[in-house]
């Protein structure tokens, strides 16, 4: 029997959500607030992008 491996495409929105929820757990800040900061163009390290 051979099992087919399913490949799931990871979007930027999924990465933002994962980073935000992980940070929210550690800091106690709301996930939506962290996501908003990640998506804003007025970030401290705006020139660095997330890995795809």
Question: Domain coordinates of the chain in residue numbers?
Answer: 11-36
Report the pLDDT value the prediction gives residue 3, as an integer from 0 to 100.
Answer: 67
Over residues 1-52, the pLDDT tens digits come to: 556 778 888 888 899 999 999 999 999 999 999 999 888 867 677 777 777 6
Report the pLDDT value the prediction gives residue 21, as an integer from 0 to 100.
Answer: 95
Report the pLDDT value the prediction gives residue 42, as an integer from 0 to 100.
Answer: 73
Report the pLDDT value the prediction gives residue 41, as an integer from 0 to 100.
Answer: 67
Q: Cβ contacts of residue 43 below 8 Å, gap of 6+?
A: 37
Q: How far apart are CA 50 and CA 30, in angstroms?
A: 21
């Amino acid at each position: 029997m051979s099992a087919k491996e399913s490949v799931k495409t990871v979007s930027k929105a999924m990465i933002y959500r994962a980073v935000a929820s992980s940070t929210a757990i550690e800091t106690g800040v709301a996930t939506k607030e962290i996501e908003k900061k990640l998506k804003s163009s007025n970030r401290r390290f705006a020139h660095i992008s997330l890995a795809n």
